[in-house]
Amino acid sequence: MRIREATPDDLAEIMAITRELAVFEELEEHLVATAEDLGRALFGPQSVITVSLVVDDDGTVAGHALWYRTFSTFLGRPGIWLEDLFVREPYRRRGYGRALLEHLRSLSEGRVEWDVLDWNATAIAFYEGLGAKPVVGWTKFRWT
C-alpha cells in the first residue's frame, strides 16, 4: 500500500469513488458534481481541494481522502477538513482508512476534522478507535 496525491490522470477514479460514496450514503440524488467540476476544484488555477489516494500493491486505487486546509484562530494553526473518506468494499479492514487519516494527521500541526452520518455506526466505532471524539455542543449549519 502507498499513499500519493492525485493527479489529473486520476480524475475518472476520483469521480467513480465519489459515486460509490454517494450510493453507500444513500445520497445519490444529491450528487450533481461532474468530473469537470471536480477537475476544476482539484487541478484548476484556483484549486481548493486535495485528494490523497491509497493505492493497493497491484496499483489499484483502493480509496481516497478528499480534503482542504482550514485555520483555527483559537489554536493559531492551520488544520484540515476531511470532506470525504472512502475505502472501496474489497479493501476495507486492511488499514487503508487508518493510513489515510494518519497521512492527513501528519500534514497538520492543528486539527483534522470531519462529519460522520449518525447512522454509520461502523465509521463512528472506527473513528473512536483512533481516539477521535465527537464535538459536543456544536450544530452544523448549511446555507445553500
DSSP-derived pairing of the beta strands 77-87 and 112-114: parallel
Burial profile 14-33: b = 16 or more Cβ within 10 angstroms, e = fewer: bbebbeebbeeeeeeeeeee
State yes or no: is 127 an active-site residue: yes
Of the residues 68, 91, 96, 127, only one is catalytic, namely: 127
- Report the C-alpha gap between 49 and 38 in whole angstroms: 9
Pull the grid cell for residue 63: 480509496
- Report the C-alpha gap between 22 and 28 in whole angstroms: 5
Q: At what angle do helices 11-24 and 35-43 cross, to 10 degrees?
A: 120
- Report the C-alpha gap between 5 and 46 in whole angstroms: 17
Where in the sequence numbering do the catalytic residues fall? Answer: 127
